[in-house]
Structure 1
Amino acid sequence: MTHRLAPLAKEATIGELAERSGVAPSALRFYESEGLITSRRTSGNQRRYSRDTLRRVAFIRTSQQLGMPLAAIREVLSLLPEDRTPNRADWARISECWREDLDERIRTLQRLRDNLTDCIGCGCLSLSRCALSNSWDALGSRGPGPRRVVEKEIPCATGTCVPAPADRATP
């Protein structure tokens, strides 16, 4: 079966779009219900998608793989023109919306990667000394969430871990 849209076709059926994009028809219907993509209906109530919907679906899937929430994806897609196929300048403009957020995600992932490597490489195998351990929730006073992942400086990596009290240390 072919994975190309007919060169002169201005629209695609849901099956054609699903096949070409690698996204299930149910996901396409979900994207449409969430306002991420649009279609027109034929007289027989069948969906027809414009060719540029393929780019939007690719953008949605890539954005989801990066961990972007659907609300953020919807927000930037709303900045694209509705009356014409988005061009390179349109895509560049919306990519700027996420640049700072993506840069911070990259830094966070690098910190996580580097700390996991250090922890796995150290061979401590001890929760009382592990860089990822948080004995007795000592980091709870620093704020909610995974503090060693979200903070710019990971406490154990900089030697500022709060050791568990000796009488309650976890083996």
Structure 2
Amino acid sequence: MVEIKSASPDEPRRSPTDLLSIGEIVRRTGVAASALHFYERRGLIHSERSSGGHRLYPRHVERRIAIIQTAKRLGIPLTEVAEQFEALPEDRMPSLRDWNRLNASWRGQLAARQLELERLETEMNQCIGCGCVSLGSCRVINPNDALAAQGAGAVLLTPITPGEIDAEEIDAEEIDAEHNT
């Protein structure tokens, strides 16, 4: 039978292999019991059972939960966390080396997302007050616009019926000259 120990300030320091009740894990991590059950079903954390059938978690599970919560804040999907956790040993706390490997893996994704957000912000800032006369040519609303290479905003000022002009043949200077005469 596994003994459940209660945490108190008078207790000696615990070992990472000590088993903690689900209530203790909830209290120490701030993660709901239902989330712990979910993580366990997904294979992200593991528990043992007491003779009474209660879940008992090795203390090092707290570190895995902290990594899961960090990944969640970073927008890393749980499926990817599970893939990364496959390389971690289940019988010990993830080490600094393990964390650095995870961090390196996720850093590239975060940098790519940051660049995408900066690009969207730039497009949004360029859009404000640009004078678009048509949402059909807006770089934010219509990013795949055939005339996007000609510049943002109102590239064509006269309406054109579909098929009348091939977008690849349009020269912005010719259009500007035509409308300024």
Q: TM-score, normalised by structure 1?
A: 0.68
Relative to structure 1, the CA distance from residue 130 to residue 89 in structure 2 (aligned partners, 3 Å threshold; closer, same or farther) is same
CA offset at residue 130 of structure 1? 4.2
Q: 1:110 — aligned with what?
A: 118
Alignment of 1:58-97 (within 5 A): 58-97=66-105
Q: Secondary structure at the match of 1:139?
A: coil
Structure 1 stretch 41-50 or stretch 82-91: which is displaced more?
82-91
Q: Secondary structure at the match of 2:56?
A: strand
Among the aligned pairs, what percent are the same residue?
38
Query: Which whole-Å CA distance do the structure 2 matches of 1:49 and 1:157 have between them?
Result: 58
Q: 1:8 — aligned with what?
A: 14
Query: Which whole-Å CA distance do the structure 1 matches of 2:145 and 2:137 have between them?
Result: 18
Alignment of 1:121-136 (within 5 A): 121-122=128-129, 127-128=135-136, 130-134=138-142
CA offset at residue 167 of structure 1? 6.6
Larger radius of gyration: 2
Of 151, 163, 179, the residue aligned with 1:159 is: 151
CA offset at residue 50 of structure 1? 1.6
Query: Which whole-Å CA distance do the structure 2 matches of 1:114 and 1:65 have between them?
Result: 24
Task: Work out whether 1:42 is the aligned partner of 2:50.
Answer: yes
Task: Work out whether 1:19 is the aligned partner of 2:12.
Answer: no
Gaps of 5+ in 2: 1-6, 162-181
Are the aligned partners of 2:22 and 2:33 in contact in 1 as well (CA < 8 Å)? yes
Structure 1 stretch 45-54 or stretch 122-131: which is displaced more?
122-131
CA offset at residue 128 of structure 1? 4.6
Pairs aligned (count): 147
Q: TM-score, normalised by structure 2?
A: 0.65
